[in-house]
Amino acid sequence: RTPCLIPGIDRSYCLQTEVSDLYLGLVVFRFHICSCSSTAKVFVHEWAHLRWGVFDEYNNDAPFYVSVNSGKASVEATRCSASVTGKYIVQSCTGNSCTTRECKSDEQTKLYEAGCKFVPEKTQNAPASIMYMQSLPSVVEFCDQSTHNEKATNLQNKMCSYHSTWEVIMNSMDFSNTSPINSASPPFETAFSLLQTKDRVVCLVLDVSGSMDGNNRIKRLKQAAEIFLLQIIETGSWVGIVTFHSTAQIETYLQQIINENVRRDLTKYLPISAGGGTNICAGVHKGFEVIKQKYSNLYGSEIVLLTDGEDGGMSSCLTEVKNSGSIIHTIALGPNASPELEQFSNMTGGLRFYATDTVDSNGLIDAFSGISSGSGNISEQSIQLESTAQSVAVKQWMNGTVTVDSTVGNDTFFVVTWDRSTSPPDILLRDPKGKEYRTSNFTASNLNLQTARLNIAGTAEVGDWYYWIQNKHTDSQVISMIVTSRAASLAVPPVTVKALMNKDTNNFPNPMVIYAEVSQGFLPVLGATVMATVEPQTGSAVELKLLDDGSGADITKNDGVYSKYFTSFRGNGRYNLKVRVQGKDKTVRLRRRQSRALYVPGYIENGEIKMNAPRPEPSDDEIQAKLGSFNRVASGGSFVMENVPSGGTTDVFPPCKIIDLEAQYEEDKIHLSWTAPGNDFDVGQGKYIIKMSESLLDLRNTFEDATSVNTSSLVPKPAGTKESFQFKPENVTIENGTIIYFAIRAIDNASLTSEVSNIAQAALFIPPKESSPDSTPNDDVINEGINILTIVLIVAGSIIAVSIAVSMIVCILHKKNRRGGPELRM
């Protein structure tokens, strides 16, 4: 951050950022920003989110908090830095007429009332922060250690352990090993390139070496590649095919898919036999040759590289591959595929997949189905509705349900595969209106005798499709059902699923994080059931449920991104990820993705409040809309595990960090609530260490030295459930303005502890009484004191008088009773 001069702006301090060699798809950006315009600062704000992972320093859900400075409590706007000045204003509008007044306190929250907005002064001295209100002319910096507001209840503090955004940024790889630029001007001006999409160009480069003859790999390759050519690759794309063993051969040069005849013709060039050694570089060179036969360069082209063998000569073409401009997607088949294979994907921005030899996982078919276009018209892209397989005994049935929702239905295929018999099993498929399709309606491939395919004419009926498949073979065999479709309408985006992981290569004992983003266009889909299956090289697959509840691995609740930690490692090597999503009509819904940008309600200029137009508030119907039932399947690619102990593992995984701790006063007690972590990150059940302090930084920096809270009455709940704990703090004098901070560490059975949770505050704050309009504040206080004293004296005097009168009456009656004889006594 250095000062720079902008023509026409005298001595303006601007943010100067240097980022080198940042890969965004195929485009490399190298840029410097030195501009005081709001547009440039918005760009830097969003880039900081994307590149460095910092968070907003405002909070639309908690815009105010209680702060104590020099023993005096006050309500403050959630902001950074705290030196940004302004007023707290409520605007009321009737028609085109609006009035403003100062905010009042809310009796329940003790903060400001609903509708209160912090209106900043237009002219400020505060230079920070870009992550708070970059629209202010003075703001040209991120908050650093000296300006950071650790008391603010924002996501930056919550997720980054109360460190400033600049501290986080400086620890990134972009800056940790670089020196500041000691110059008043950027080294060179920003250059932006405008790119235009072109026809998709894909060359299949397929391994046909001798090892492909084992485990039925060559037949499975043909099944999967046939589905890719007939159902997945988009119309208008160009496709070529290369095979390789010790040498490479061009099976067909690029053909443009303009109709179904071209698709069927391409399947004729798929391999049917295997033999020879493995020369991966030879196959890649031939793939480049196929593409260059039509195009002068390789930029934007794609190669789908599949192999099951090792090749010690891969390093000879790494540099050429890196500089080619082509994107290489890799599919590793079986446990012995070259460990260097993923380098091709990493260098070129391609996808990486892994398929085991376990045929009932559909791994190879899912890998090819996952290589759809990442850009262009979403309505042209294939969407996988179902992919399931199981071993079916003789004369037994495999049955299931596939839901075709209203957002898909065009170009719908039902594909049945089997692995042993030469004749198809008995197939019965029934649509939502009762129409039945039988084996005779399916088309068996002339080139691939273990695949039967049904293409539904027009748009498939919306609703549940039921299927029953009987194994007629003399032995058990694996039968699979694959269903793909495309968008039903150009005007309505389909529901899509993106399965992701936090890293491609992981070192034990670090956990993996599995993500699935479920959306319709830009709208997140809520309430879906999301199951992830992780399949290792050896051992059985592991299934886990992903959640969108804002706890554990899930950062933000109800954003359509479902998350979970994965720690069930079976050894070193590759792992395959597959995600299955199901939405039920009564539980799933859409949510409007509201802008998270900070709304600036107005400014104060020269003492005058100038309000902007009120931010439109969406109605409940706009925020949440019913979606209906749907099915989706998506491949998340593969990751590689390293340094997993060969003799098995002990308990090395601690509970995950609690990120949603909340605290509040309830009369003379403190109420804490949070989502339970697990024994191993977010799985199982842990225990708790709760600490409190009147110093936020002491609690963060020296958690163990803080005051302990007695948790003997707290019974921990399983991971993912809501915990609630109420207690009366001891040895603490609670008075107006008292703020107590709380934090939790979860602990497991092996005494492994989580990171310190987010720090929650409970503030006892009694706002001052509102002044009456016809008297001064001092008169109010005096009059209030006199009135109260008068009332107290009158009430006390009345009680004394009544007591004396009652006593006298009781005394007189008592004497009369004694004179009247026993007959009057009770």
295-342: pLDDT as tens digits? 999 999 999 999 998 888 999 999 999 999 999 999 999 999 998 899
Kindly indicate the confidence band of residue 731, based on its pLDDT and cuts at 50, 70 and 90: confident
- SS3 labels along 431-453: CCCCCEEEHHHCEECCCCCCEEE
List Cα–Cα distances, 330 to 255, 315, 349, 468, 736, in angstroms: 22, 16, 11, 35, 64
Euclidean distance between CA atoms 215 and 217, whole angstroms: 5
652-677 mean pLDDT: 91
Assess whether 696 and 723 both reside in one domain.
Answer: yes
CATH number at 393 reads: 2.60.120.380
Least reliable range by pLDDT among 64-78, 354-368, 568-582, 632-646: 64-78
Kindly indicate the confidence band of residue 405, based on its pLDDT and cuts at 50, 70 and 90: very high
618-646 mean pLDDT: 82
38-61: pLDDT as tens digits? 788 898 999 999 899 999 999 988
Identify the helix (H) or strand (E) that includes residue 526. Answer: strand 523-526
Assess whether 20 and 158 both reside in one domain.
Answer: yes
235-264: pLDDT as tens digits? 999 999 999 999 999 999 999 999 999 999
Least reliable range by pLDDT among 16-25, 249-258, 368-377: 16-25
Q: Specify the pLDDT at position 252.
A: 98
CATH number at 563 reads: 2.60.40.10
Question: Is 70 exceeded by the pLDDT of residue 819?
Answer: no
Q: Specify the pLDDT at position 803.
A: 55
- SS3 labels along 766-781: CCCCCCCCCCCHHHHH
Assess whether 421 and 483 both reside in one domain.
Answer: yes
CB 126 within 8 A of CB 140: no
Least reliable range by pLDDT among 512-521, 719-728, 792-801: 792-801
470-483: pLDDT as tens digits? 999 999 999 999 99
Assess whether 33 and 105 both reside in one domain.
Answer: yes
Average pLDDT, the chain: 85
- Domain-located, residue 181: no
Question: Is 70 exceeded by the pLDDT of residue 777?
Answer: no
Burial of 463 (0-12, 13-18, 19+ CB in 10 A): middle
Kindly indicate the confidence band of residue 186, based on its pLDDT and cuts at 50, 70 and 90: low
Q: Specify the pLDDT at position 105.
A: 87
Of 785 and 492, the structure prediction assigns the larger pLDDT to: 492
Neighbours of 70 (CB within 10 A): 4
Q: Specify the pLDDT at position 103.
A: 94
Question: Is 70 exceeded by the pLDDT of residue 817?
Answer: no
Q: Specify the pLDDT at position 651.
A: 87
- Domain-located, residue 609: no
Assess whether 258 and 292 both reside in one domain.
Answer: yes
Question: Is 60 exceeded by the pLDDT of residue 826?
Answer: no
- Domain-located, residue 807: no
Q: Specify the pLDDT at position 93.
A: 85
Of 191 and 553, the structure prediction assigns the larger pLDDT to: 553
Count up the domains in the chain and report the number. 5
Q: Specify the pLDDT at position 627.
A: 79
Q: Specify the pLDDT at position 593.
A: 61
Identify the helix (H) or strand (E) that includes residue 419. Answer: none
Kindly indicate the confidence band of residue 12, based on its pLDDT and cuts at 50, 70 and 90: very low
Assess whether 166 and 225 both reside in one domain.
Answer: no
Question: Is 60 exceeded by the pLDDT of residue 802?
Answer: no
Kindly indicate the confidence band of residue 798, based on its pLDDT and cuts at 50, 70 and 90: low
Assess whether 507 and 473 both reside in one domain.
Answer: no
Kindly indicate the confidence band of residue 281, based on its pLDDT and cuts at 50, 70 and 90: very high
Kindly indicate the confidence band of residue 181, based on its pLDDT and cuts at 50, 70 and 90: confident
Question: Is 70 exceeded by the pLDDT of residue 823?
Answer: no
Using the 3D structure, point to which of 490, 522, 551 is the last residue of a domain.
490
List Cα–Cα distances, 133 to 6, 58, 122, in angstroms: 21, 8, 11
Question: Is 50 exceeded by the pLDDT of residue 774?
Answer: no
Question: Is 90 exceeded by the pLDDT of residue 780?
Answer: no
Assess whether 404 and 468 both reside in one domain.
Answer: yes
Assess whether 149 and 217 both reside in one domain.
Answer: no
Question: Is 90 exceeded by the pLDDT of residue 16?
Answer: no
Euclidean distance between CA atoms 105 and 281, whole angstroms: 71
796-822 mean pLDDT: 46
Q: If you ran DSSP here, which 8-state letter would residue 228 be given?
A: I
State which of 88-97, 536-545, 615-624 shows the largest mean pLDDT.
536-545
Assess whether 135 and 18 both reside in one domain.
Answer: yes
- Domain-located, residue 359: no
- Domain-located, residue 778: no
Catalytic residues: 46
Assess whether 435 and 468 both reside in one domain.
Answer: yes
Q: Phi and psi at residue 588, in whole multiples of 5°? A: -90, 145
Boundaries of domain holding 746: 662-764
Question: Is 90 exceeded by the pLDDT of residue 3?
Answer: no
Write the DSSP assignment of 313-356 as a string of letters. Answer: TGGGGHHHHHHH--EEEEEEESTTS-TTHHHHHHHHT--EEEE-
Kindly indicate the confidence band of residue 765, based on its pLDDT and cuts at 50, 70 and 90: low
Q: Specify the pLDDT at position 625.
A: 61
Of 44 and 804, the structure prediction assigns the larger pLDDT to: 44
Kindly indicate the confidence band of residue 757, based on its pLDDT and cuts at 50, 70 and 90: very high
Of 666 and 663, the structure prediction assigns the larger pLDDT to: 663
98-126 mean pLDDT: 90
Q: Tell me the percentage of the chain whose pLDDT exceeds 70.
A: 85
Assess whether 214 and 163 both reside in one domain.
Answer: no
Neighbours of 150 (CB within 10 A): 18
Kindly indicate the confidence band of residue 646, based on its pLDDT and cuts at 50, 70 and 90: confident
CB 546 within 8 A of CB 564: yes
Helices (H), 652-727: 696-701
- Domain-located, residue 634: yes
Euclidean distance between CA atoms 142 and 131, whole angstroms: 7
Of 616 and 825, the structure prediction assigns the larger pLDDT to: 616
- Domain-located, residue 406: yes
Neighbours of 312 (CB within 10 A): 9
- Domain-located, residue 825: no
Euclidean distance between CA atoms 514 and 405, whole angstroms: 26
527: helix, coil or strand? coil
Q: What tokens appear for 170 in the block?
A: 């400086």
CATH number at 211 reads: 3.40.50.410
Q: Specify the pLDDT at position 36.
A: 53
Least reliable range by pLDDT among 484-488, 524-528, 772-776: 772-776
